[in-house]
């Protein structure tokens, strides 16, 4: 009697499942009812219910014996559809019902890759716990990580890290995701990547390290994070001093402060034996002068007077260092 089909082609089982009547479905299954030839129709309903988050209908269809690994024309499974639409409870139900977490759709995306790309951190955790990995999708995952790091999409970065992305992947310019995050001022992402084990000592094709990039952009918070993690300027002291000199001349206080925090040699000299302090004084950059003195810049009054006489010609002036740690004219 349970196999009787209505004029619309629905069996009692299909009607019960489509209404979310789990108790009725259980009674029918117990009595021997199956979806039979209505599996295709049942899957279409499962996909729709998974997309909309209709938990009762999904539960009823699973109880009725729907094929949880059916696919649509794009080779998406109900699990993928649920993930894409943020239906975490449905995702959990489908995984428990035996949904294949390793399937890939027509675009080559797995459930885990979809979850990570959508920033579904809870879903990523469910999938990883169930045994999902990025597998052969590490390259695509890194490209997504790089883009998310550049734009500051914290949820996606967090999800990709949880999914097992290689945080030390590189692009064609040998830039890492960490470098991209720093360059674009994404401090929260920088923190996440460092905590996830991003290599802070890598250098890109131009020879810049994460610390040098942070200092050159005036990212003082990023510099602090990197230094705390053990980053140093290393062999980039010369480039760092050149940047310090330029920033001192143009009064880029943020960059000067960042370079000091990064450990730049504040007593470096240029080809004319000028220090960054002399350059800052010559250009009237009082705030920079103060920063450099506080950072331990060597005060040599004779050299400072000489540089002023040379640069100003017939006009002579002198500077001295007072107890307030400022250079003031006599």
Rounded to an integer, what distance in angstroms lies between the CA atom of residue 215 and that of residue 255?
A: 6
Rounded to an integer, what distance in angstroms lies between the CA atom of residue 266 and that of residue 277?
A: 8
Q: Domain 134-232: state its class.
A: mainly alpha
Determine the length of the chain: 330
Rounded to an integer, what distance in angstroms lies between the CA atom of residue 38 and that of residue 61?
A: 11
Residues 158 and 117 sit within 8 Å (Cβ to Cβ): no
Residues 118 and 83 sit within 8 Å (Cβ to Cβ): yes
Q: What is the pLDDT of residues 63-77, one digit of tens each?
A: 878 889 998 888 999
Residues 260 and 295 sit within 8 Å (Cβ to Cβ): yes
For helices 187-195 and 154-163, give the axis angle rounded to 10 degrees.
10
SS3 328: strand
**Alpha-carbon separation of residue 291 from 198, 259, 283, 285 (angstroms):** 31, 11, 15, 10
What does the pLDDT read at residue 60? 80
Is 50 exceeded by the pLDDT of residue 215? yes
Residues 58 and 24 sit within 8 Å (Cβ to Cβ): no
pLDDT-derived band at 306 (thresholds 50, 70, 90) equals very low
Q: What is the pLDDT of residues 242-262, one digit of tens each?
A: 999 999 999 899 999 989 999
Is 80 exceeded by the pLDDT of residue 83? yes
The residues that bridge with 320 in the sheet, in sequence order, are: 328
SS3 110: strand
What does the pLDDT read at residue 73? 86
**Of 13-22, 28-37, 52-61, 278-287, the least confident:** 28-37
**Of 47-56, 153-162, 192-201, 318-327, the least confident:** 318-327
**Alpha-carbon separation of residue 68 from 64, 115, 124, 198, 325 (angstroms):** 11, 18, 19, 38, 74
Residues 212 and 192 sit within 8 Å (Cβ to Cβ): no
Looking at residues 5-18, what average pLDDT do you find? 57
Global pTM reads: 0.74
Residue listed under structure tokens 């879903």: 123
b (16+ CB within 10 A) / e for 96-114: ebebebebbbeeebbbbbb
Counting DSSP H helices and E strands in the chain, the numbers are 19, 2
Rounded to an integer, what distance in angstroms lies between the CA atom of residue 300 and that of residue 277?
A: 10
What does the pLDDT read at residue 322? 41
Residue listed under structure tokens 């579904």: 120
What does the pLDDT read at residue 136? 85
State the Cα angle at 213 between 148 and 218, rounded to 5°: 100
Lookup: tokens for 51? 């997309």
Residues 90 and 82 sit within 8 Å (Cβ to Cβ): yes
């Amino acid at each position: 009697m349970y196999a009787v089909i209505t004029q619309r082609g629905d069996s009692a089982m299909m009607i019960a499942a489509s209404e979310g009547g789990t108790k009725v479905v259980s009674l029918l299954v117990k009595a021997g009812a199956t979806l039979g030839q209505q599996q295709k129709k049942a899957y279409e309903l499962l996909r729709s219910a998974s997309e909309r988050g209709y938990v009762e209908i999904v539960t009823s269809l699973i109880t009725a014996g729907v094929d949880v690994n059916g696919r649509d024309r794009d080779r998406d499974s109900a699990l993928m559809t649920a993930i894409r639409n943020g239906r975490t409870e449905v995702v959990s139900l489908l995984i428990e019902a035996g949904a294949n977490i390793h399937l890939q759709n027509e675009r080559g995306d797995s459930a885990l890759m979809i979850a990570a790309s959508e920033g579904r951190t809870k879903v990523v955790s469910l999938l990883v716990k169930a045994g999902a990995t990025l597998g052969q999708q590490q390259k695509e995952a890194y490209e997504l990580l790089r883009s998310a790091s550049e734009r500051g999409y914290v949820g996606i970065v967090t999800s990709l890290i949880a999914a097992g992305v290689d945080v030390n992947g590189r692009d064609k310019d040998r830039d890492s995701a960490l470098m991209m995050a720093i360059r674009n001022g994404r401090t929260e992402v920088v923190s996440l990547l460092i905590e996830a084990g991003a290599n802070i000592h890598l250098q890109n094709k131009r020879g810049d390290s994460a610390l040098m990039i942070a200092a050159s952009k005036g990212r003082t918070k990023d510099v602090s994070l990197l230094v705390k993690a053990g980053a140093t300027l290393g062999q980039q002291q010369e480039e760092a001093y050149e940047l310090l000199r330029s920033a001192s001349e143009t009064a880029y206080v943020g960059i000067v402060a960042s370079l000091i925090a990064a450990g730049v040699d504040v007593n470096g000299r240029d080809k004319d034996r000028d220090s960054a302090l002399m350059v800052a004084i010559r250009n009237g950059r009082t705030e920079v002068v103060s920063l450099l003195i506080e950072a331990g810049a060597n005060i040599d009054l004779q050299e400072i007077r000489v540089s002023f006489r040379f640069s100003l010609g017939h006009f002579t002036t002198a500077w001295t260092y007072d107890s307030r740690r400022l250079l003031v004219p006599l």
